[in-house]
Amino acid sequence: MAYLFTSESVSEGHPDKVADQISDALLDHFLAFDPESKVACETLVTTGQVVLAGEVKSHTYLDVQNIAREVINKIGYTKGEYQFSGDSCGVISLIHEQSQDINQGVDRGSKEEQGAGDQGMMFGYATKETNNYMPLALDISHKILHILAELRREGKEIKYLRPDAKAQVTIEYSDDNVPQRIDTIVVSTQHDAFDSNDEAMLAKIKSDIISILMPKVKSQLPEEIQQLFDDQITYHINPTGKFVIGGPHGDTGLTGRKIIVDTYGGKGAHGGGAFSGKDPSKVDRSAAYAARHIAKNLVAAGVADEILVQVSYAIGVVEPTSIFVETYGTSNVNLSDGEIARKVRQLFDLRPFAVEERLKLRNPIYLETAAYGHMGKESKKVVKVFESPYNGRVEMEVELFTWEKLDMVQEVKVAFGL
């Protein structure tokens, strides 16, 4: 019997994502001016207010209030009627220095012997069902909101959109786990109050989402995925009614509350640790990226059609405490999952500093991760500019999403005899 699976995404204007982006913008600025910075920065956003908190050890000093305001304005919260605007909101900084008790377990005389910044388990996942090795329902959910944000910024075809939005996609699968069709699509988008008749306004929004947004989403998908869209899809567009009050005014936002949106949409597993605002000494972040890198290269090399990788650490300890692999019965090699895990340990150095070096994680590459998912995006080089009244101007080329590179496929094939 066929089954249904659902994933959701949220827009860059969702209050939790606003908080994530502020935290990662602060992290990027710290790393740009001091690559050895240790940062754990949390953000709270609510009506007219931003609160910054956390621990930092760095040789640089930042105008954190101005950085937060720039992020908020770039997202699109620029009008007083939103009750939250980059130019007018209050910004309170409660950031203080990192505890020496934590730092002593991380910093060592030799960088190669750097200990993990915390204990815990992290997961990476990959599947062949999309070209970017991501779960299909989440991939489509991200695309819906990314294109919706483009339409909002252009302000031509749909002129009433506001920054806050969510999307959810349900896919029907066959018993052998092959996508058959899109069953349900849910889109809730914040909007201006542009019609005194609520029913007419909601009908217009539903019509625009289905007739303007969805064709653009479909056109960006491969032909085999486009075939999954039919005229039997159930659409729920702003199902609770009008959505004028939104963003941080409608719902308080916090860093790290969208960990499933950030990863695999409920596929695979999650260790519970959030990403944004954390420098790469925090294995919550760096090891999750490393596990994704491993899983993606294993699937791309043909080891299995679907793979989950778990790695765990103890705080202050250099080597991971465990590595686990699950292939869900899709393995293409004559090895048990335990034997695959042992080969993974030989192929990939998972000591914290080795992960930082291999994936170039001491660079200011994190703001780009903080909306529409940390996984599944294209690795590319960009030039970023950072300016500070205290540190001057830094312009540097960085490589984004290095954990998405298929740079270990050949080594994996050789190791597994593929």
Mark the binding-site residues for K(+), compressed into ranges. 42
Dihedrals φ, ψ of 278, to 5°?
A: -110, 130
Lookup: tokens for 190: 């914040």
Task: Residue 54: name the closest of 299, 255, 252 by CA.
Answer: 255
Residues 6+ apart with CB under 8 A from 192: 160, 161, 162, 244
Q: Which residues are known binding-site members for Mg(2+)? A: 16
Alpha helices in 155-242 (DSSP H): 198-208, 214-219, 223-226
With left for phi above 0 and alpha for psi between -120 and 50, is residue 12 left, alpha or beta?
A: alpha
The 8-class DSSP code of residue 136 comes to: H
Q: How many helices (H) and strands (E) does the chain have?
A: 13, 13
Distance CA 161, CA 153 (A): 9
Amino acid at 61: Y
Q: How far apart are CA 330 and CA 302, in angstroms?
A: 10
Residue 125: what residue type? Y
The pair of structure tokens assigned to 6 is 């659902």
> How large is the angle between the packed helices 409-416 and 337-347, nearest 10 degrees?
130
Q: Measured between alpha carbons, how far is 262 from 119 in angstroms, rounded to an integer?
A: 20
| 165 strand-pairing partners | 189
CA distance 231 to 182: 10
Q: For residues 118 and 313, is the Cβ–Cβ distance under 8 A?
A: yes
CA neighbor of 317 nearest in space, from 123, 162, 106: 106
From the annotation, which residues make up the binding site? 14, 16, 42, 55, 98, 164-166, 242-243, 251, 257-258, 274, 278, 282
Using CA atoms of 362, 363, 364, 368 in order, give the dihedral in degrees to the nearest 10. -100
Which residues partner with 381 through β-bridges? 399
DSSP 315: B
